Structure 1
Amino acid sequence: MKDKIDILVTLDESYLGPLKVMLTSLHQNNRQTDFRIWLIHERISSEKLRSLQTLLKFYEMELKVIKVPQDLFSDAPTAERYPKEMYYRLACGNLLPESVKRVIYLDPDTLIINSIKELWEVDMEGNILAAATHSGLTNITKGINNIRLGTNRGYFNSGIMVIDVEQARSKVQIEDIYDTIRKYSDYLLLPDQDVMNYLYGEFTKEIPEEIWNYDTRQSSAYFTRSFGAHNTHWVAGNTVILHYCGKPKPWNEKSNNRFTLLYLHYQQLLKRYEENI
């Protein structure tokens, strides 16, 4: 039997639609790969979960649902900027069963347009995480974030990560996360991402953003930085994960960049699949 790739998602009910689109793209472009999807949530309805289960059964993907008790993170600082879901990915070592050794965490606002297998097999080199930085054209944000967070390395995007779950179980402490938020809440712009960089940035392996975490807002920067090599044809053949960072999201009618049409294609594909299940 083939080993399954473990995919982690942590979200609330409002992101189930984008999650289905993302998983449709994962299925469509990884037909020879088996997946186990771990969904960690607090209050998604049974009806919505059954709908997701039906779709993933059609895709021949295994769905594992972990419902977090409402009192589990009762001491956590929470607000609109600190939703509980942000803790689930950082604390996944405490939530996933011991049998899970490694996961790929994926934000739902992504598309997987080529094989993800190489990311699953990446050499972590002893690190807890593997993630990409979004450096833009000049990388000026690196310096700003270093000053803001008191760090001296690249600023990693937490939307796509490989997590060594075995290491996370022993090294990621939920109280450290709580303390960081309580002490530095006035300086945190993207709370979960800031906390991840502040606490675990030195234990993170950098992976190429143009391949594994392509910011769809920055296509001109990628093109310029590569002296014209990373054009649309290059992206189609080399990029694996498109990340629709920022707003408007591609499912919003206000979105109209060069990657919106591709997203809508997978959205329509999902609709046709669901009509025939």
Structure 2
Amino acid sequence: MPESINLLVTLDENYLPHLKVMLFSLHQNNLEQLFDLWLLHEKIPDQKLIELEILLKKLNINLHSIKITDQLFANAPTVERYPREMYFRLACGILLPDNVKRVIYLDPDILVINSIKPLWELDLEGNVFAASVHAGLTNISKGINNIRLQTTNNYFNSGVLLIDVAKAREVVKLDDIYRTIQKYGDYLLLPDQDVMNHLYSHVTLEISEEIWNYDTRRSNIYFTRNIKNFNMQWVAQNTVILHFCGKPKPWTGKNNTRFGLIYSHYQQLLNQLELN
């Protein structure tokens, strides 16, 4: 039997339908792979968790639901699109069982279209995290984020992370996160991502965004960087994770891009599976 890959998601009830699409795409493109899904949440109803578990059994995914009841990050800044659950990924070393040594964190607004195993097997080279940088044709945003968060490193997107959970237990401290929130709260545009970059960008290994965190809004930038290689055929053969950052989300019916069509295809296949 192949080694099971640990996945981490942190979300509320509203994102469960999109989580299902993401996990279905993962299964479809990793058919022989076993997964353990660690779901950290505050108040997802039991009936919703039962429905999720029924689906995941069809997908060779074992569900481990952990309800956070001690109000971690109760005073952390949140906005409508970013609920408190987003902070749980930073505290995964504290919240996950000791036998969990490594996880892949995935946002729910994602499709997995190729094998994820190479990410799981990646050498972190002593770092706590591996993540991608969504760099533009210029590096202006890096300079702005360095000034805003008082860092000198690249600004990492936290939507896809490989995490050394054992090392995170040593490095990631809640008191450090609390102090950062108190000090920079008014300047946190994407609160958990900003906190991660401020505190832990120096222990984050950069991985290819074109492969591991392909921002579907930015395909023209990717193509412009390398017109010969970054076409749709290259994406189909090499990209593993499509990330639907920002708006409009593909499930709203307003994302009529080439990638929105791919999302609708997986959504339709999932609907057929759930009806059987």
If the TM-score is normalised by the length of the shorter chain, which range does it land in? over 0.9
Secondary structure of 2:253 counterpart: coil
Runs (5+) with no aligned partner, structure 1: none
CA deviation vs aligned residue, 1:206-260 (integer Å, no higher than 9, x gap):
0000000000000000000013310000000000000000001000122111200
Which residue type is aligned with residue 235 of structure 2? V
User: 1:65-101: per-residue Cα shift (whole Å, max 9, x none)?
Assistant: 10111x3316532442663212210000001000000
- Give distance in 1, aligned partners of 2:191 and 2:23: 26
The alignment status of 1:194 with 2:210, answered yes or no, reads no
Q: Distance in 2 between matches of 1:195 and 1:103?
A: 19
How many corresponding residue pairs? Answer: 275
Do the aligned partners of residues 75 and 270 (structure 1) sit closer, same or farther apart at CA in structure 2, a change above 3 Å counting?
closer
Pair 1:190–1:20, CA change in 2 (3 A): same
Provide the rounded CA distance (Å) in 2 between the counterparts of 1:190 and 1:78: 10
Runs of 4 or more above 3 Å deviation? none
Length-normalised TM-score, structure 1: 0.97
**2:61 alignment counterpart:** 61
Identity %: 62
Give the TM-score normalised by the residue count of structure 2: 0.97
Q: Specify the code of the residue in structure 1 equivalent to 2:43.
A: R
Q: CA separation in 2, counterparts of 1:168 and 1:72?
A: 20
Structure 2 partner of 1:154 = 154
Deviation at residue 203 of structure 1 after TM alignment: 0.3
Q: Report what 2:228 is aligned to.
A: 228
Partner of 1:115: 115
Q: Deviations over 1:93-132 (max 9, x none)?
A: 0010000000000000000000000000000000000000
Contact preservation (8 Å) 2:77, 2:181: no
Other-structure match for 2:173? 173
The yes-or-no answer on 1:76 pairing with 2:69 is no
Cα offset, 1:170, TM superposition: 1.3
CA–CA distance in 1 between the matches of 2:179 and 2:139?
Answer: 29
AA partner of residue 152 (structure 1)? T
1:54 and 1:141 mapped to 2: Cα distance? 43
Matching of residues 246-261 of structure 1 within 5 Å: 246-261=246-261
Q: Distance in 1 between matches of 2:182 and 2:275?
A: 47
Q: Secondary structure at the match of 1:248?
A: coil
Name the CA distance, whole Å, in 1 between partners of 2:139 and 2:15. Answer: 30
Q: Distance in 2 between matches of 1:124 and 1:152?
A: 20
Report if aligned partners of 2:216, 2:244 keep a CA contact under 8 Å in 1: yes
CA 1:223/1:79 → structure 2, altered by over 3 Å: closer, same or farther?
closer
Query: What is the Cα deviation at residue 10 of structure 1?
Result: 0.3
Q: Cα distance, 1:272 vs. partner?
A: 0.4
- Aligned counterparts of 1:84 and 1:242: Cα–Cα separation in 2: 24
* Distance across 2 between alignment mates of 1:137 and 1:273: 41
Alpha-carbon distance between aligned partners in 2 of 1:191 and 1:144, rounded to the nearest angstrom: 16
SS, match of residue 71 in structure 2: coil
**Which amino acid letter does the alignment assign opposite residue 157 of structure 2?**
N
CA RMSD of aligned residues (A): 1.2
Q: Find the aligned partners of 1:127 and 1:87 in 2 and give their Cα distance.
A: 20
- Give 1:73's aligned amino acid: L
